[in-house]
């Protein structure tokens, strides 16, 4: 099933393989894309990936994970992002982008978060967000979605995982508020509502979540599914399932360790899911989709090691797919 097409709205993915968002820390300090990003994403598109989701792209300068994150807080960023979209499209893949605000995990002078509680001793204690700041961040997600549409992306992924701002609101570990935003589902809903004012309904809206925090009192598959179910009526099309990131904890990570989380969240929400987690080879990736643990499977480290793993593994998987004409002499028999 891995090499079968997948239809989502009006978009046909040529296979079930996804390149997930992975920070590259390669933009300049103003958040602009450069030649590295064109080569990086273009190479994976040439390599046969069905859906490519661009790395976490900051909705505000103070919401960056690092000073070298890509940005989408200004209309000036659109031209460079269009170049990424174009190279992905030209090489046969569907183009996605993840938009994010890092909250208390932002390495900036004044990080903000739902509550004044730091991620770890290596991070500053953030300022508890005022209602005005909450509204400003919600607006930044809306404007980022508008720019993503103008740049030509087919899929927009809201980053609600890995202990960044949206997840910080959802988790009772990081959200200690006593006002109306004590229920983090409210913040999530307002972000999605704002995005849907500008994101075309014919395009795909994805939400990335952490399915568990691996600690008592944290988010569970059941509670994150409640959050998803509270916003799916607004137009969420697919859930990208990951885990952890909000608490420093040792995770027992093994090949495919997050696939059962993806299946559980699918069962609890009824939405299609992307799953993954240390997928070490294409046979495991195929098992992930053929066993119905996920609809799409993301390959992170594997695609960093081998951008052509999709086309080069096809023959041994018994599948005949088109090979890039430029490289046909290198095709395995």
Interatomic CA distance for residues 155 and 52, integer angstroms: 9
Average pLDDT for residues 136-141, to the nearest whole number?
Answer: 98
Could you read off the pLDDT of 65-123 as tens digits, one per residue?
Answer: 999 999 999 999 999 999 999 999 999 999 999 999 999 999 899 999 999 999 998 99
Q: In whole angstroms, what separates CA 117 from the centre of its chain?
A: 25
Beta strands 11-13; 6-8: pairing state: antiparallel
Domain boundaries, the chain: 6-330
pTM (whole model) above 0.75: yes
Interatomic CA distance for residues 198 and 287, integer angstroms: 37
Interatomic CA distance for residues 250 and 263, integer angstroms: 23
HSE toward the beta carbon, residue 35, CA cutoff 13 A:
0
Q: What are phi and psi of 208, to 5 degrees?
A: -95, 135
pLDDT for the residue 333: 73
pLDDT for the residue 332: 80
Pick the CATH number of 6-330 from 3.10.129.10, 3.20.20.70, 3.90.1150.10, 3.40.630.10: 3.20.20.70
Q: 140 in the Ramachandran plot: left (φ > 0), alpha (ψ -120 to 50) or beta?
A: alpha
Could you read off the pLDDT of 179-215 as tens digits, one per residue?
Answer: 999 999 999 999 999 999 999 999 999 999 999 999 9
Average pLDDT for residues 290-296, to the nearest whole number?
Answer: 97
Could you read off the pLDDT of 147-184 as tens digits, one per residue?
Answer: 999 999 999 999 999 999 999 999 999 999 999 999 99
Q: What burial letters (b/e) apply to 239-264, b meaning 16+ CB within 10 Å?
A: bbbbbbbbbeeeeeeeebebbbbbbb
Could you read off the pLDDT of 212-264 as tens digits, one per residue?
Answer: 999 999 999 999 999 999 999 999 999 999 999 999 999 999 999 999 999 99
Q: How confident is the model at residue 57 (pLDDT cuts 50, 70, 90)?
A: very high
- CA distances for 142 relative to 69, 106, 147, 203, angstroms: 19, 20, 9, 15
* Contact present, 227 and 241 (Cβ < 8 Å): no
Over 80: is that where the pLDDT of 271 sits? yes
Average pLDDT of the chain is 97
């Amino acid at each position: 099933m891995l090499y079968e097409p997948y239809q989502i709205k009006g978009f046909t993915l040529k296979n079930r393989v996804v390149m997930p968002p992975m920070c590259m820390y390669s933009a300049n300090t103003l958040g602009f894309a450069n030649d590295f990003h064109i080569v990086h994403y273009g190479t994976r598109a040439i390599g046969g990936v069905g859906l490519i989701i661009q790395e976490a792209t900051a909705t505000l300068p103070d919401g960056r994970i690092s000073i070298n994150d890509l940005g989408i807080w200004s209309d000036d960023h659109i031209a460079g992002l269009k170049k990424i979209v174009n190279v992905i499209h030209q090489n046969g893949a569907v183009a996605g982008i993840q938009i994010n605000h890092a909250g208390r995990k932002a390495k900036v002078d004044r990080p903000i978060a739902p509550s004044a509680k730091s991620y770890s001793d290596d991070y500053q204690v953030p300022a508890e967000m005022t209602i005005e700041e909450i509204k400003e961040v919600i607006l930044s997600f809306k404007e980022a979605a508008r720019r993503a549409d103008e740049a030509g992306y087919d899929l927009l992924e809201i980053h609600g995982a890995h202990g960044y701002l949206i997840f910080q609101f959802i988790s009772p570990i990081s959200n200690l508020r006593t006002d109306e935003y004590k229920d983090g589902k409210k913040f999530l809903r307002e972000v999605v509502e704002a995005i849907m004012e500008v994101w075309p309904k014919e395009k795909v809206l994805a939400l990335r979540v952490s399915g568990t925090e691996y600690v008592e009192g944290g988010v569970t598959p059941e509670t994150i599914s409640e959050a998803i179910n509270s916003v799916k009526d607004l137009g969420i099309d697919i859930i990208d399932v990951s885990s952890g990131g909000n608490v420093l904890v040792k995770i027992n990570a093994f090949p495919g360790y997050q696939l059962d989380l993806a299946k559980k969240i699918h069962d609890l929400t009824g939405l299609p899911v992307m799953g993954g987690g240390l997928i070490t080879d294409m046979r495991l990736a195929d098992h992930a989709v053929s066993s119905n643990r996920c609809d799409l499977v993301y390959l992170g480290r594997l695609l960093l090691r081998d951008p052509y793993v999709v086309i080069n593994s096809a023959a041994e998987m018994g599948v005949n797919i088109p090979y890039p004409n430029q490289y046909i002499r290198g095709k395995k028999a």
